Structure 1
Amino acid sequence: MNQVAIEGHVRYVQSLLPAAMERRVLFADGSRRTRSVQYLDGSRMRYRAPRLPRIDGATTRRGFDGIWRRFVKARPDAPLLLYFAGHGSPSPQRNLDNNVFDLWGGGALSVRDLAARMKELPDDTPVVLVMAQCFSGAFANLLFEGGRPDGALVERDVVGFFAATRDRPASGCTPEINEADYSDFSSFFFAALSGVDRLGRRVHGADFDRNRFVGMDEAYAYALLHQATSDVPVATSDVFLRRFVRKPDHETMATPYSRVLSWASPAERAALEGLSDTLGLRGEHRLRVAYDLEFGAGAGKRDVEDVISAHRLRFIRVAKSVVLARALRQSGDRARIERFERLRAAEARNPLVEARAASVARQAMRRRAAR
């Protein structure tokens, strides 16, 4: 089930990284000869060898541990971007807060497994995660010690953007070879973040605050708006707010829409307005209307693949995060407010831009040293 789209996601993200940026790529069994890539040839399923510019090892526990020990821990002060493209599963113990990323050959990397690896890094090493697999939202728990949702907040800046909530599948694992048809979360996210989509076309419209810079928070909002699938993505700030702000849904959804817009960031405002238009929502009570449509009578019979339902859930989740953020800022809890604002500032960064700037700086230093 290692579909050609997964290989395409890895190739696309590799192409966005500066040539001088250090990276390691784990893929399938780590071999360029094994026919490990599944693709659709007409109506027949076939397999071929990988066609990636580099493969550094296998996506196994041994491969992951080796890369972590020899590459990640060897560069303790370097910011870390972790991109996972592949399959994910609910926890075998049915604990949705500890879901897993599926490894080659039947192994698995759980939330708590990754939390243990990250704990080996210095507290000031920032980590960005982009995870495209099913049930990936559980990995937002890396905000907390041990990857446990009731744990203390970790000291490091760790932010993540995930294709699906902890209880839902995600799109993007197709054997279809035409990349023009791909509509997965991470493709939209990285297209907005880099300004170039996977077909090499320029991407506009993600700079919602018009400061000539697209942050990850804007790329996330862009994906929420443009991804026409049943995915319901989640960000670390969403999980932070739901952990620390207790406000019943019936109160949250009673908030007039104009107030929600006034409290929203430019990216959140764009997502709310765009999703409202897509869903045909109107008026001051649209939060309540959307919520009742999604969770009212008959909602339990809805198919998880319902795209309209997914868009409605995206709208509800963005609105809820805006209202909870407002409640937090009015709470007077200075330490928690400062930690939240730090998280939001980290989500507004752009690791691709920072990597390019660092690459240019290193090249300049080498030129000066050679004189």
Structure 2
Amino acid sequence: MRSALGHWNTGLGVYLAACLAFAAHAQEAKPSAEAKPSAEAKPNIVIIGTGGTIAGAGASSVNTAAYQAAVVPVDKVIAAVPEVKNIANVRGEQIFQIGSESFNNQRLLQLGKRVSELLKQKDVDGVVITHGTDTLEETAYFLNLTLKSTKPVVVVGSMRPGTALGADGALNLYAAVVVAASKEAVGKGTLVVLNDEIHTGRDVTKTNTFKTETFRSPYGPLGYIVEGRVLLYRLPARPHTVQTEFDIDQIKALPEVHVAYAYGDMSRTAYDGFVKAGVKAIIHAGTGNGSVSEFIVPVLKEVRSKGIHVVRASRTGSGVVIRNGEQPDDKYDWLVVDDQNPQKARILMALLLTRTNDSKELQKLFWKY
């Protein structure tokens, strides 16, 4: 009986062979002059690989949810989509090869600083980042707030590995390059492209564990990619990139901010653990409108008395948390998010704490971003 590793190697081998065969076939086809502009006319796009499902492989073509992530190098991922060369001059750069659940602050900063370096180069017109879907929204929100460039930055992933029937990664990557190479994407902040949709990094979130239409924004996508065309129907309304006070080049470390998830009969264990670990703020992912149970209220008051900020968010996934609604936030000196979900509130709070520790100013900035 073959080992699981043997099955996986077979799947990867089939995937890579198919990629090379497809690339060879595409080279034989003679594209029209319109579909393949001159090298001088095409923008230069750098595709940064960080791993994830888009770089994954399964043991067989029917493994769409059971597979090994982050095993296919970014150059191989690009080779599977030869059509991108008709859109732009592309080159790959591998910075990580991990599942996105393993992203941490250090890797987030490393990625952001490298993207910033690339955007400063005259021979780079845009950047595409291949990323696992688990924390893709957090990375996109962070880059949306910290990059100081109007050049397009697009984060892309997939829900199925390239070895699977109905794999979505190749078309997602093609669409991401189309967007990054377009004039329409200039000055729109960090964008997220999957499933033919264009989302702003601020709003988008993962909503399903396996469906290809998992990424949604509460206000809908900014637009679509249709037959290689970028169609935008709305624009980001909140400050991003060059409009913010956060500069990735100036950030050396992020303050520790963690999330405590509320539920019936919850205990104070998580809060005590975070306090002991020396966090600067705790995001309370409350029920409903950021509710706090009667037996957790004194715990959060105690947390704040130690100089640690308490931020009320909601575990529901969407909606605005109302200040002084469920709790007397003014009295307790707690903060509330606007419409940021807990994981995005963590990103924003960490950045805010690099600028100020004043609670009143912090609250204003939550409402701003």
Tell me if TM exceeds 0.5: no
Structure with max Cα Rg: 2
Between Structure 1 and Structure 2, the one with more helix by share is 1
Between Structure 1 and Structure 2, the one with more strand by share is 2
Structure-1-length-normalised TM-score? 0.29
Structure-2-length-normalised TM-score? 0.29
